[in-house]
Structure 1
Amino acid sequence: MFARWVQEILRSPLLRPGIRSGHRTSGIFVPVVRGSSAAGKIALLERGIILSSVAYLAFETYKWKKGQTVVHASIKVDDIIEQADYLYGSGETAKLYELLSQYKDSNDAELLWRLARAARDMALVSTTPQDEKKRLIYESFDSAKKALELNELCWAAHKWYSICLSNVGDYEGIKTKIGNAYIVKEHLERAKELNPKDATTIHIIGVWCYMFADLPWYQVKIASALFGTPPSATFEEALEYFLQAEEVDPNFYSKNLLFLGKTYLKLKNKSLALDWLTKAKDFPARTEEDIEAMVYVRYWYI
Structure 2
Amino acid sequence: MSKLKVAVEPKKLQQVYLLPFVKSLKIFSFFGNDTLRQSAWMRKFSARPDEDVATRLDRLHERRRHDEVLELVRRRSERDEEPGLLWRKARALFFLGSSEPRGSDARLSRIVEAHEALESALLSRGDEDPEVHKWMAIVLDERSGLINLRQRLNAAPMVKYHLRRACDLNPRDFEAHYMLGTWYYQLCRLNWVQKLIAKYLITCELPNSSYKQAYKYLLQAHELRPRAMLSNVFFLGDTCFQIGHYFKARYYLNMAVDLKPRDDEERRFLAKALHLIKKLDRYDLSKNNVLFYNYESQSFNDV
TM range (shorter): 0.5 to 0.7
What are the superposed Cα offsets for residues 67-91 of structure 1, whole Å, 9 maximum, x if unpaired? xxxxxxxxxx932211122233xx3
CA contact (8 A) 2:195 2:206 kept: yes
CA contact (8 A) 1:138 1:168 kept: yes
CA contact (8 A) 1:283 1:294 kept: no
Post-superposition offset of 1:196: 1.3
TM-score of the superposition, structure 2-length normalised?
0.66
CA contact (8 A) 1:147 1:157 kept: yes
- Name the counterpart of 1:210: 185
- Name the counterpart of 2:290: none
- Name the counterpart of 2:224: 248
Q: Secondary structure at the match of 1:99?
A: helix
Using the alignment, how far apart are the partners of 1:99 and 1:230 within structure 2?
37
- Name the counterpart of 2:31: 30
Post-superposition offset of 1:184: 0.8
Q: Secondary structure at the match of 2:127?
A: coil
Which one of 90, 97, 101 corresponds to residue 129 of structure 1? Answer: 101
Aligned pairs (5 A) from 1:113-192: 113-125=87-99, 128-130=100-102, 131=104, 132-150=106-124, 151-192=126-167
Aligned pairs (5 A) from 1:1-302: 27-31=28-32, 32=37, 34=42, 78-88=51-61, 91-93=62-64, 95-103=65-73, 106-125=80-99, 128-130=100-102, 131=104, 132-150=106-124, 151-225=126-200, 229-283=205-259, 290-302=262-274
Matched residues, number: 233
Q: 1:171/1:277 Cα in 2 relative to 1: closer, same or farther (>3 Å)?
A: same
CA contact (8 A) 2:60 2:69 kept: no
CA RMSD of aligned residues (A): 3.0
RCO (CA 8 Å, sep 6+): is it higher in 1 or 2? 1
AA matched with 1:92: R
- Name the counterpart of 2:284: none
CA contact (8 A) 2:177 2:217 kept: yes
Using the alignment, how far apart are the partners of 2:127 and 2:85 within structure 1?
14
Q: Secondary structure at the match of 1:233?
A: coil
- Name the counterpart of 2:291: none
Q: 1:233/1:35 Cα in 2 relative to 1: closer, same or farther (>3 Å)?
A: farther
CA contact (8 A) 2:150 2:204 kept: no
- Name the counterpart of 1:64: none
After TM superposition, the structure 1 stretch with the greater mean CA deviation from structure 2, 269-278 or 250-259, is 269-278
CA contact (8 A) 1:280 1:293 kept: no
Unaligned runs of 5+ in 2: 1-26, 275-303
TM-score of the superposition, structure 1-length normalised?
0.66
Using the alignment, how far apart are the partners of 1:143 and 1:266 within structure 2?
39
Post-superposition offset of 1:102: 4.5
Using the alignment, how far apart are the partners of 1:270 and 1:293 within structure 2?
25
Unaligned runs of 5+ in 1: 1-25, 48-76
Using the alignment, how far apart are the partners of 1:188 and 1:300 within structure 2?
27
Q: Secondary structure at the match of 2:263?
A: helix
Q: 1:86/1:279 Cα in 2 relative to 1: closer, same or farther (>3 Å)?
A: farther
Q: Secondary structure at the match of 1:295?
A: helix
Post-superposition offset of 1:141: 1.8
Determine what percentage of the aligned residue pairs are the same residue.
25
Post-superposition offset of 1:212: 1.2
Post-superposition offset of 1:281: 4.6
